Structure 1
Amino acid sequence: MTGTDRHRRIVLWRHGQTAWNIEQRFQGDTDIPLTETGVAQARRAARLLAALRPDAIIASDLRRAADTAAELATLTGLPVTHYEGLRETYAGEWQGLTHTEILARFGEQYTAWKRGEPVRRGGGELETEVADRAAPLVLAAADKLDDRGVLVVVSHGGAIRTTIGRLLDLDPVSWESLGGLSNCCWSVLGEGARGWRLMEHNAGTLPEPVLGDDV
């Protein structure tokens, strides 16, 4: 149920930096740990997000997301519930390849994906299948919040984008228009009279009030 009396927020937080991020390798659901820089990013971001006074934290069970979430859990005292369904997109043969290697071996597949066509990258999951498993977990956790509760979801760039697209009821063809998330940055969905709306995207600072006509 949504409405003007409910103002829940969902913070979708991407994990910190990994070695494969630096090398521009497609990670997918490969379990790659954080670098030292990634841990530092998580600690810095956690100090900011703790100021939002979150009520619950859920996270992917892959190490890079779980260790990012642990930094916020340490500051807030909240437990973290881990879900396999919040993992990054499984991308089959693409996983472990650099961007250049993917273009060289799977150029037509990559181009079709960028056009918004439903593509099983490397024989893996469709983006809509990622949304099918991730979005219901996020909604179920949000439904447990009180009217002004804050949920933090620690996941991965692709999984977050598909989840946002699904919660905003966007056509999957347009999900790519949301753009990516930098390491340890986040997006915020707020609840309004007509459902969820995107309040912040790829943010690294605390949300600012909207001052103007579009409140």
Structure 2
Amino acid sequence: MSGRAGGPRIVFWRHGQTSWNLENRFQGTTDIPLTETGYAQARRSARLLAGLKPDLLVSSDLGRAADTAAELAKLTGLDVKHDPGLRETYAGSWQGLTHAEIRARFPEEYEAFRRGEPVRRGGGELTSEVADRSVPVVLAAAEELPEDGTLVVVSHGGTIRTMLGRLLGLEPELWEALGGLSNCCWSVLGRGARGWKLLEHNAGTLPEPVIGDES
């Protein structure tokens, strides 16, 4: 148990760097591994997050997230529960393409997406559907926390945005107001009297560019 007063909290931790992040390629559910830099980021962040004395650790089952979570598991002794519900947005024919390539091949779809309209990117999932599958995983895990416990959720940039937006009670068209997470940075929600509230966002580093965010 964490022994921390103030109610439960959830830490949403984005995975470390991949080669497709660097190339600004839309990863989606493609299982791209961490780079050496990504592993170093995960080890560094894990040392910081271990200081929060987390009680539970859940992760997307995609390798880049699972390997990031493993670094925290090594330090805390926690088991990692891997759940496909925490995967990145499935983006169909967009996956593997750079944003420039997507703009060139699917201009109308891309511009609608940039305007914040509901779009099945590449014939894939809507952001609301991503929240539908990911948020229940998080809430189920949170139910297992001790009174003032801490849950760490290891996932992906786009999916984390949808989870934050849904849990904060924002309408889907406002989710983009939550800026992206840099690789291996995190956001924290705490439980208040009127629901979840944002305590930290994109924490864990000096300001760095947000690259390869899945949106």
Scaled by the length of structure 1, what TM-score is found?
0.92
Give, in whole Å, the separation in 2 of the partners of 1:114 and 1:190.
30
Supply the RMSD in Å over aligned alpha carbons: 1.0
Give, in whole Å, the separation in 2 of the partners of 1:100 and 1:16.
23
Corresponding residue for residue 211 of structure 1: none
Task: Give the residue type in structure 2 aligned to 1:136.
Answer: P
* 1:47-196 aligned within 5 A: 47-196=47-196
Secondary structure in 2 matching 1:148: coil
Q: Which runs of 5+ in 2 are unaligned?
A: 206-215
Secondary structure in 2 matching 1:187: strand
**Number of aligned positions between the proteins:** 201
What does the per-residue CA deviation read over 1:98-153, in whole Å, with 9 as the maximum and x for residues that have no partner?
Answer: 11101111122122112221100000000000000000000110011111100000
Give, in whole Å, the separation in 2 of the partners of 1:79 and 1:36.
24
Give, in whole Å, the separation in 2 of the partners of 1:176 and 1:119.
14
Q: Which runs of 4+ in 1 moved over 4 A?
A: none
Give, in whole Å, the separation in 2 of the partners of 1:183 and 1:41.
8
Give, in whole Å, the separation in 1 of the partners of 2:14 and 2:171.
23
What does the per-residue CA deviation read over 1:182-210, in whole Å, with 9 as the maximum and x for residues that have no partner?
Answer: 000000001111110011111115xxxxx
What does the per-residue CA deviation read over 1:72-97, in whole Å, with 9 as the maximum and x for residues that have no partner?
Answer: 00000000000000000000010000
Corresponding residue for residue 19 of structure 1: 19
Identity of aligned residues (%): 74
Corresponding residue for residue 35 of structure 1: 35
What does the per-residue CA deviation read over 1:14-38, in whole Å, with 9 as the maximum and x for residues that have no partner?
Answer: 0000000011100000000000000
Give, in whole Å, the separation in 2 of the partners of 1:120 and 1:131.
14
Task: Give the residue type in structure 2 aligned to 1:195.
Answer: G
Give, in whole Å, the separation in 2 of the partners of 1:26 and 1:173.
21
Corresponding residue for residue 211 of structure 2: none
Task: Give the residue type in structure 1 aligned to 2:170.
Answer: L
Secondary structure in 1 matching 2:141: helix
Give, in whole Å, the separation in 2 of the partners of 1:113 and 1:23.
20
Give, in whole Å, the separation in 2 of the partners of 1:22 and 1:115.
24
Secondary structure in 1 matching 2:24: coil
Give, in whole Å, the separation in 2 of the partners of 1:113 and 1:99.
12
Scaled by the length of structure 2, what TM-score is found?
0.92
How far did 1:6 drift? 6.0
What does the per-residue CA deviation read over 1:58-79, in whole Å, with 9 as the maximum and x for residues that have no partner?
Answer: 0000000000000000000000
Secondary structure in 2 matching 1:57: strand
